[in-house]
Amino acid sequence: MAKSVAIVTGASQGIGRATAIRLAKDFEAIVLVARHRENLEETARYVHETGAESLIIDADIAAPGVPKVVIDQVMAKFGRIDALLNIAGAVPQIDLFEMTDDQWDQATELKLHGARRLTLAAWPALKASAGAVVMMSGNSAQVPKSGYAAVAAINAAIVALAKAFADRGIEDGVQVNSVMPGPVMTGRRRSFVQKWASANGMSDEEALIRFPQNAGISRFGEPEEIADLLAFLVSPSARWITGSALRMDGGEVKAV
């Protein structure tokens, strides 16, 4: 049985993979959750380089019964959960006036309900370990636009959900926060920028330069920078931070 266990969803690529690799320095076992097993196996190889153990669970978090099965597997293998990082998300950028009910439902099932169901299923174990939860929101929660209404609305809901869990966590000894990154260079961001390039009649190369300028920032963020923030939030140093929504965006949001 491992002494400290962190679960990372969305660990097959992007911010989730960077977070799993970073957390391997602080936890003895990292549970890697996403749908694509081969990509999770690649993440696991990096995790092992730091000496941490891994458990790969290839699962679709959007399916209602799956989060409980994931947590049961973790408990059967390790018997404890110290940190849960809900990072998986694939909300499409579709205009408010074009997005269908089905598309809204699919996006909400994964990012909002997947995180909610996993946190509920893990709660008794988190309570037992005085553990920590982080939920992945995004800057768009604070600057909703019609072009990405679902991304913004679901991210705003994540902030509220994390705060509600944090409220119970005060009583139960579980710390819960959300994080709002700005534009971070991952596969997901690259496809957004490509879409933005074609909408604005420019090449992908030009868009990679113009997009940060247009967002009022000097550069894209790196997944490893978000991973460092998440590692801090589930570390003993951050114990009194709870119910917070932390922004890391290179200065993109200009409002107070």
Report the 10 Å Cβ neighbour count for 145. 12
State yes or no: residue 10 binds ligand NAP (CB under 6 A).
yes
The neighbouring-strand residues paired with 84 are: 7, 133
Can you tell me the distance from the alpha carbon of 85 to that of 11, in angstroms, rounded to the nearest whole number? 10
Strands 83-86 and 132-136: parallel
Interface stretch with ligand NAP, choices 123-131, 166-174, 182-190, 237-245 (CB under 6 A): 182-190
Q: C-beta of 187: minimal distance to ligand NAP in Å? A: 4
Residue 229 has which token pair?
A: 């923030």
Is the CB of 1 or the CB of 41 nearer to ligand NAP?
41
Q: C-beta of 139: minimal distance to ligand NAP in Å? A: 6
Among 189, 227, 229, 233, binds ligand NAP (CB under 6 A): 189
Q: C-beta of 203: minimal distance to ligand NAP in Å? A: 20
Contact 46, 22 (CB under 8 A): no
Contact 19, 8 (CB under 8 A): yes
Interface stretch with ligand NAP, choices 123-131, 162-170, 181-189, 210-218 (CB under 6 A): 181-189
Alpha helix positions (H), the chain: 14-23, 37-49, 66-78, 101-108, 115-129, 149-172, 187-199, 204-215, 223-233
| Residue pointed to by tokens 């000894």 | 173
Q: C-beta of 166: minimal distance to ligand NAP in Å? A: 19
- Which string of x and - marks every residue 119-148 that binds ligand NAP (by CB under 6 A)? -----------------x-x----------
Is the CB of 172 or the CB of 224 nearer to ligand NAP?
224
DSSP string, 80-97: ---EEEE---------TT
- Which string of x and - marks every residue 55-94 that binds ligand NAP (by CB under 6 A)? -----xxx------------------------xxxxx---
Q: C-beta of 177: minimal distance to ligand NAP in Å? A: 14
Site for ligand NAP in 200-229 (CB under 6 A): none
6's CB contacts (< 8 A; 6+ apart) are 23, 26, 27, 29, 30, 31, 82, 83, 84, 85, 234
Can you tell me the distance from the alpha carbon of 169 to that of 213, in angstroms, rounded to the nearest whole number? 40
Is the CB of 90 or the CB of 164 nearer to ligand NAP?
90
# of chain residues touching ligand NAP (CB under 6 A) = 30
Q: Which residues bind ligand NAP (CB under 6 A)?
A: 9-10, 12-16, 34-36, 39, 60-62, 87-91, 110-111, 136, 138, 181, 183-184, 186-189
